[in-house]
Chains A and B, each alone.
Chain A
């Protein structure tokens, strides 16, 4: 399955990318997180939440979305 990953805020600096397309398959969001932490070691220094198909989701959820967003700590206002 093809999925688009989007990196927000400081995660764009940690990965050097705004977005990318992955074709690997992952059982859960947590599996994808572990893959990305190895791919981009700088991600280990930032806390981030993940969302699939525009909903923030927990790591144990099955990966079913084709749009995945990585969201660093929120700092609105």
Chain B
């Protein structure tokens, strides 16, 4: 099956409503027996007495979408998944808001447990997305992934 390259980017935070609706869209897919969801949330880290208030995300979107497509295809060939949805924020996401949403579904639970962490880790490692951490005093630093 050839799937087309999807745009994973959403302007601003990913709302709880978007996530709830995405879950709801699967109610008619009655062969699914297991969902697994990862939600990345912006942390209000304290660094040298200053608190992060938001992250401003930018990306090389063409490359990111292409590489995400390859990650998605690899996960579908390796694991018995029914469907997969991936979204990442662009622009400003405040502390406490959701910036990253990965949703996998399958008939049974093992494929969703196994695939989700692989997909999340691959996306964080391989996609050219850049986080600028904004402090409350308007200064900033560039996010470094652990």
Contacts and interface: CB of A to CB of B under 8 A. Distances in A.
Interface stretch (A26-34, A35-43, A49-57, A58-66): A49-57
B60 A77 contact: no
A9 B58 contact: yes
Contact of B63 (A10, A51, A72, A73): A51
User: Interface residues of B: mostly helix, strand, loop or mixed?
Assistant: mixed
B58 A54 contact: no
A14 to B, nearest CB: 11
* Interface SS of A by simple majority: loop
B85 interface: no
B130 A77 contact: no
Contacts of B120: 77
Contact of A76 (B66, B123, B142): B123
Interface residues of B, number: 27
A76 B124 contact: yes
Interface string B52-67: 0000011110111010
Given A9-B130, A77-B120, 20 more contacts: A8-B60, A49-B128, A51-B60, A51-B128, A54-B60, A69-B63, A71-B128, A72-B130, A74-B129, A74-B130, A75-B130, A75-B143, A75-B144, A76-B88, A76-B123, A76-B127, A76-B129, A77-B40, A77-B123, A77-B124
